[in-house]
Amino acid sequence: MSSRSAGRTQVDHLIVGAGFAGLAAAIKLDEAAERDFVVIEKDSDVGGTWHINTYPGAECDVPSQLYSYSFALNPDWSKVYSPQQEIWEYTRKVAEDSGTLDRFVFDTAVLDATWDDEAQRWVVRTEGPAGVQEYAARTLIAGAGGLSEPRLPEIEGIETFQGEIFHSARWNHDVDLTGKRVAVIGTGASAVQLVPELQKVVGHMDVYQRTPNWIIPRNERSFTTLEKTVFKRVPGAQRALRALVYGTLESRVPAFAKFPQAMRAVEMQGRKNIARGITDPELRKLVTPTYRAGCKRILISNKWYPALDADNVDLVTDPIAKITGNAIVTADGVERPIDVLVVATGFYVTEPPIARHITGRDAVTLADLWDESGMAAYKGTTFHGFPNLFQIVGPNTALGHSSMIFIIESQVKYVVEAAKAMRREGLAAVEPTQAAQDAWTAEIRRRMKPTVWQTGGCASWYLDKFGNNTTLWPGQTFTFRQHLRTFDLDKYDVEVSHQREAVNA
């Protein structure tokens, strides 16, 4: 178990983040008898994005039956798409049941993590209620999530705004929006959920759209008591439904990855959704995308278009020129006064700030490398130059079509296999070879070429500044799982313990 020496707490594994990724890593390491770990979480509880994102209307857009761990099915989901609070409560219960919470440290941020070649450990500094602490960890397992650092828009004068301003991912529940003049900047997945809720209470709302999204209907319904009883009592029933949902979502991959023209069917659904929700022909035109569906994330909502069509809402498509003390001014010179500004402008995905704080061999940070050539990893998980670093939801592991929990579980298995292999072989450090990482990256780039994300004619957060899609997995999720089913030591440079070598010498 963890011990202290030279003011540092020695642990085998340091996990960053207590969301779905960090929690799964903790549970699966524990099950594999790798119990000497600590989970550092900057928030006050488990749940990650599902604890932090509390904006009105926050719900999952992947069906609940699949948006849950395979090892902790939940027969009690209230509806097809679970609300945020319910998902957070689920993660809390899974954490409690796992018996691992004694190794979670909350309200504590990772300041930096530096590989110490001599000690063959990651030296990790954290800051929390107990002040600055230092850990020396054999492995560093980063599960901080790709959608955790809010991106504030760079708009002239935004800092001079005198009213309340907050990001969708940092909702200020103390601000009563009843009867207020509100502006929402952004029309992505978060805005599409929160705008219809705000529309019911605000006096007036301006929604600032830069690019419209393809939005298809949400086949929403509650599970009946009978269904929940069947999920609980009939062995295999819930797993069968889960498999059906999984299969249905996977059947959409070829359209994304190989035959983007098949997305016309989605566009038809989107156009129908617009016609159903909006009466004004001019507004219909403004919300209809001109790029191929799937190029940006396809959104699902039955409420977005009716909300935009409501009398107390204006959709503004003129670019924002500046923000003053009490208004937004668009390029056409129109000034729209507001009391509250909600920015639903997304996250730092292709340049995650955490990369600046992780320093590998030769004093190089992940950000230094990624600045030069974009995010890259071996199997989305390990990094040449960064021994014993494992990132869950690393480069090219995100999905536009299915549940990230499937990916997370695949990666966690790989990490646990790595930990076991290191113990079995007496290894102090493992690091993918440059050749293995380059070959993996080249194959991803090759497979990315025909995809809708690369050819669909849009700008999206999937692409980095070089135009490469470094975020999404370009294929079926079972293929990803197949690649990560064992830890392929032959693709790694390995080191035995310096101490052991010294002893043996």
Which of 8, 138, 242, 297 is close enough to bind ligand NAP by CB under 6 A? 297
Residue 461 binds ligand NAP, judged by CB under 6 A: yes
**147 belongs to the binding site for ligand NAP (CB under 6 A):** yes
502 class by beta-carbon count within 10 Å (0-12 exposed, 13-18 middle, 19+ buried): exposed
Q: Which listed range, 258-266, 345-353, 408-416, 419-427, lies at the site for ligand NAP (CB under 6 A)?
A: 345-353
* CA distance to 10, 35, 134, 205, per residue, from 5 (Å): 7, 19, 10, 57
Query: By C-beta, is 24 or 295 nearer to ligand NAP?
Result: 295
Residue 131 in contact with residue 4, Cβ under 8 Å? no
Q: Which is nearer to ligand NAP, 43 or 431 (CB)?
A: 43
Stretch that binds ligand NAP, among 100-108, 179-187, 218-226, 284-292 (CB under 6 A): 179-187
Tell me if residue 267 falls in helix, strand or coil.
helix
- 11 scored as a contact of ligand NAP (CB under 6 A): no
- SS3 of the chain: helix, strand, coil, percent, to 5: 35, 25, 40
Task: For residues 376 and 137, give the distance between their C-alpha atoms in angstroms, rounded to a whole number.
Answer: 23
Which region among 118-126, 205-213, 369-377, 388-396 touches ligand NAP (by CB under 6 A)?
Answer: 205-213
- Binding flags for ligand NAP, 441-460, as an x/- string (CB under 6 A): --------------------
Report the distance separating Cα 320 and Cα 343, nearest Å.
Answer: 13
Identify the H or E element spanning 361: none
Q: Which is nearer to ligand NAP, 34 or 206 (CB)?
A: 206
The residue type of 396 is N
Q: Which residue among 126, 345, 382, 468 contacts ligand NAP (CB under 6 A)? A: 345
Rounded CA-CA distance 125/111 in Å is: 5
SS3 45: coil
Closest CB to ligand NAP among residues 56, 128 = 56
Binding residues for ligand NAP restricted to 151-170, rule: CB under 6 A: 153, 155, 168
The residue type of 432 is P
Q: Tell me: does residue 298 bind ligand NAP (CB under 6 A).
A: no
Q: Which amino acid is at 475?
A: G
Dist. CA 491–CA 198, nearest whole Å: 52
Window of 33-41, 70-78, 341-349, 410-418 that interacts with ligand NAP by CB under 6 A: 341-349
The answer to whether residue 301 forms part of the interface with ligand NAP (CB under 6 A) is no
With CB under 6 A as the contact rule, the residue among 188, 352, 360, 380 that binds ligand NAP is 188
CB nearer ligand NAP, residue 19 or residue 346: 346
**From 224-232, 340-348, 355-363, 467-475, span contacting ligand NAP (CB under 6 A):** 340-348
Residue that has been written with the tokens 């639903």 in this structure: 344
Residue with Cβ nearer ligand NAP (204 or 297): 297
Q: Does the protein bind ligand NAP through residue 191 (CB under 6 A)?
A: yes
387 CB burial (10 A radius; 0-12, 13-18, 19+): buried
| 81-140 positions binding ligand NAP, by CB under 6 A | none
Q: Candidates 32-40, 93-101, 203-211, 365-373: pick the segment binding ligand NAP (CB under 6 A).
A: 203-211
Q: Rg of the chain over CA atoms, in angstroms?
A: 24
Among 23, 60, 430, 448, binds ligand NAP (CB under 6 A): 60
Q: Closest separation between CB of residue 456 and ligand NAP, Å?
A: 13
Smaller CB distance to ligand NAP: residue 193 or 451?
A: 193
Residue in 30, 36, 45, 61 binding ligand NAP, rule: CB under 6 A: 61
Question: Taking contact as CB under 6 A, which single stretch among the options 100-108, 119-127, 339-347, 474-482 is the one that binds ligand NAP?
Answer: 339-347
CA distance 501 to 130: 37
Comparing CA positions, the residue from 216, 291, 213, 287 lying closest to residue 455 is: 291
> Closer to ligand NAP at the Cβ: 199 or 365?
199
If we measure between CA atoms, which residue out of 407, 478, 405 comes closest to residue 62? Answer: 405
Looking at residue 476, what DSSP letter applies? -
CA distance 205 to 182: 5
Using Cβ positions, the residue closest to ligand NAP within the complex turns out to be: 188
Q: How far is the CB of 372 from ligand NAP (least distance, A)?
A: 24
| b/e sequence 408-428, b meaning 16+ C-beta within 10 Å | bbbbbbbbbbbbebbeeeebb
Choose one: 54-62, 327-335, 381-389, 476-484; the region binding ligand NAP (CB under 6 A). 54-62
8 A C-beta contact, residue 187 and residue 47:
no
Q: How far apart are CA 164 and CA 326, in angstroms?
A: 10
- Say whether residue 346 binds ligand NAP (CB under 6 A): yes
Per CB under 6 A, residues contacting ligand NAP are: 59-61, 147, 153, 155, 168, 185-191, 193, 208, 210-211, 297, 320, 344-347, 461
